[in-house]
Amino acid sequence: MSSKVERIILAGFGGQGVLFLGKVIAETGMHAGKNVSWIPSYGPEMRGGTANCSVILSENEIASPMVTVPDTVIAMNRPSVTKFNQKIKAGGMLMYNSSLIERQEFRDDIRLVEIPANEIAEELGNPKVANLVMAGAYSKFSKLITFDDLVACLPSLVKGAKKEMLDINLAAFKKGFDYVEEKKYMFGRYVYSVFKGI
Amino acid sequence: MAKVLMKGNEAIGEAAVLAGCRYYFGYPITPQSELPAYLAKRLPEVDGVFVQAESEVAAINMVYGAGSAGARVMTSSSSPGISLKQEGISYIAGAEVPCLIVNVMRGGPGLGNIAPAQSDYWQSTRGGGHGDYRTIVLAPNSVQEMADMTITGFDLSDRFRNPVLLLSDGVLGQMMEPVNLPEPNDYDINSKKWALGYRGNDKNERNLCSSIFLDNDELEEHNWHLYQKYQVITDLFSKGEYKDFAVEEHLCDDAEIILVGYGIISRILKTVVEKCRKRGIKAGLIRPKVLWPFPTAVFERLAKTASQFLVVEMSCGQMVEDVKLSVDGKKPVFFFGRTGGTVPSDFEILNEVDKLVRPD
């Protein structure tokens, strides 16, 4: 991953909050002083359909905001892996929601990070925060935003939210971040090095 | 003011409020619906009026009325809706009423689809409705410019008593970027001496805004008056105070191939130019920020130094005609376009550049 720019595609079912997840990452980047852009896919879509958005974080001015070759794909469901897996830059990262996507024959030239986002969110008592678990996990890998940036930006993202809601969002960030940290310890080679299939 | 992360459509709405616009009339259509949604919430907070009209035709005529009364007023739509508004735009141009019209372009012709496109260039720059008239056409390429050009658009329309069209597309309308919002402007609705609502005439004279001139001589005189106004505007944009505002040049001085595009395409072309330069291809970029009057002079100048031009659009080729008129046969002008809602990637454009500079 280049230290100057991070191009991300975030995808999932409508309702999984992938557009908001993209906004969380973009707005955090903006507050951290980076240039950012966010583009949603939009179409004649409905609940249960697929949604995705493209986010760029950059230290320099962003020329094209379109993401054709993402450094990272964050996939919340299986169709998203099918759709975007082949587009990831060689040496890039596929971060996927292993609650809904089983381990399979992925490419062997990308870094794989599996996060059971739904299970983690359910443990926290609210399945809707699975998207924010992914945000916490992403901040572990990003060179342009940190976990602290995410936490600092949260109040501006959920304006007027009740304290309980803020707390559960923060907990989701933390769980996602910690999960990656623990995995590094448990499956260091698996998470951080090239994955050669199962 | 701190930067705010906003959608292009919302940035237009907030900028309009800051420019003193208190009247919005429109009808929802994807991909611009965030703009009326934003103003439906925002205008009542500043004692403004938001009306979701029964149709686009009704909305543009409400704009005609509010503009005639001296108010800063706007409407917005996407391609098929803008087609419906053309009759009203022609009346507004004929009656010389200022207003801002936003078009967030989608695929056509007909109902087409709701994906981004640039296929309304001809409609926008050639008048669009019936009769000899012009609209000033501004083409932003970022969310920041959506906001800035909304404000400039109101200023230009008041100054020249002419409708101004903000021509954007589905990507720019939907995307979010950080925006620095400008300071609010205290617009005085009683500042236009020609307006119906003007209260400053000593003799209590009444004003009239109309596009009807039944007498042939009167209409001819009116049409030549409009023509002269368009000439003044053209001069101000080509060599006067708006010269620098009208066009952006990037690495053109030593360029052998010059890429030309407006709106979201110009952002992609900037990436293509960077990639060309890394590969040793001397590429440059001309981005018209104003589409009417077209920035002809920059093409006349660069046709002397560059060897060829490549125009890229999300259409089957519309602006390319203006580029050809401006280059005037001095150098070859090529075209690459994608349509139907597909945004061309930097890779496929780079491939076209390769074909032109390395034909073997």
Report the residue from A26, A63, A68 with minimal CB separation from B270: A63
Is A65 in Cβ contact with B177 (below 8 Å)?
Answer: yes
Q: Which of A8, A39, A138 is nearest to B264 (CA)?
A: A39
- Per-residue pLDDT of A1-35, as tens digits, reads 445 899 999 999 988 999 999 999 999 999 999 99
Looking at beta carbons, which residues of chain B come within 8 Å of A27? 5
User: Given CB atoms, is B189 within the 8 Å cutoff of chain A?
Assistant: no
Looking at beta carbons, which residues of chain A come within 8 Å of B5? 23, 26-27, 30, 36, 38
Task: Supply the Cα-derived Rg of chain B in whole angstroms.
Answer: 21
Q: Please name the residues in contact with B29: beta carbons below 8 A apart, sequence gap of 6 or more.
A: B77, B78, B80, B81
Shortest distance, CA A124 to any CA of chain B (angstroms): 29
User: Given CB atoms, is B268 within the 8 Å cutoff of chain A?
Assistant: yes
As given in the structure block, the two tokens for residue A11 are 């995808």
Per domain, the residue ranges of chain B are 3-191, 248-357
User: Given CB atoms, is A151 within the 8 Å cutoff of chain B?
Assistant: no
Is B175 in Cβ contact with A39 (below 8 Å)?
Answer: yes
Distance CA A161, CA A184 (A): 33
* Best B3, B145, B176 residue to mutate vs chain A (most A CBs within 10 Å): B176
Is A30 in Cβ contact with B31 (below 8 Å)?
Answer: no
Distance CA B24, CA B73 (A): 6
Sign of the four-CA dihedral B296, B302, B308, B314: negative
User: Given CB atoms, is B270 within the 8 Å cutoff of chain A?
Assistant: yes
- pLDDT value at A197 more than 60: no
User: Given CB atoms, is B30 within the 8 Å cutoff of chain A?
Assistant: yes
Are B319 and B291 in contact by the 8 Å Cβ rule? The answer is: yes
pLDDT confidence band for A182 (50 / 70 / 90): confident
Looking at beta carbons, which residues of chain B come within 8 Å of A37? 175-177
For residue B36, the model assigns a pLDDT of 98
Looking at beta carbons, which residues of chain A come within 8 Å of B178? 30, 35-36
Distance CA A65, CA B142 (A): 9
Q: Which of B243, B245, B233, B220 is nearest to B161 (CA)?
A: B233
* Best B1, B3, B4, B5 residue to mutate vs chain A (most A CBs within 10 Å): B5
How high is the ipTM of this complex?
0.93
Shortest distance, CA A127 to any CA of chain B (angstroms): 27
For residue A46, the model assigns a pLDDT of 64
User: Given CB atoms, is A39 within the 8 Å cutoff of chain B?
Assistant: yes
Is B171 in Cβ contact with A42 (below 8 Å)?
Answer: no
Q: Do domains B3-191 and B248-357 have the same CATH topology?
A: yes
pLDDT confidence band for A161 (50 / 70 / 90): confident
Is B170 in Cβ contact with A40 (below 8 Å)?
Answer: no
For residue B359, the model assigns a pLDDT of 74
Place of tokens 């200023």: B155
Distance CA B356, CA A48 (A): 45
What is the greatest pairwise CA distance in chain B?
A: 77
The CATH number of domain B248-357, selected from 3.30.1370.110, 3.40.50.920, 3.20.20.60, 3.40.50.970: 3.40.50.920
* Best B3, B143, B177, B276 residue to mutate vs chain A (most A CBs within 10 Å): B177
Instruction: Show pLDDT as tens, one digit a residue, over chain B (360 residues).
Output: 689 999 999 999 999 999 999 999 999 999 999 999 999 999 999 999 999 999 999 999 999 999 999 999 999 999 999 999 999 999 999 999 999 999 999 999 999 999 999 999 999 999 899 999 999 999 999 999 999 999 999 999 999 999 999 999 999 999 999 999 988 988 988 889 999 978 776 666 788 999 999 999 999 999 999 999 999 999 999 999 999 999 999 999 999 999 999 999 999 999 999 999 999 999 999 999 999 999 999 999 999 999 999 999 999 999 999 999 999 999 999 999 999 999 999 999 999 999 999 877
- Per-residue pLDDT of B222-232, as tens digits, reads 999 999 999 99
- Per-residue pLDDT of B128-180, as tens digits, reads 999 999 999 999 999 999 999 999 999 999 999 999 999 999 999 999 999 99
Distances (CA, A) of A51 to A10, A42, A44, A84, B326: 8, 8, 11, 12, 43
Looking at beta carbons, which residues of chain A come within 8 Å of B177? 36-38, 62, 65
Looking at beta carbons, which residues of chain B come within 8 Å of A62? 177, 267
The fold of the B3-191 domain, in CATH, is Rossmann fold (3.40.50)
Is B345 in Cβ contact with A68 (below 8 Å)?
Answer: yes
* Best A7, A28, A39 residue to mutate vs chain B (most B CBs within 10 Å): A39
Question: How many pairs of residues across A and B have Cβ atoms under 8 Å apart?
Answer: 60
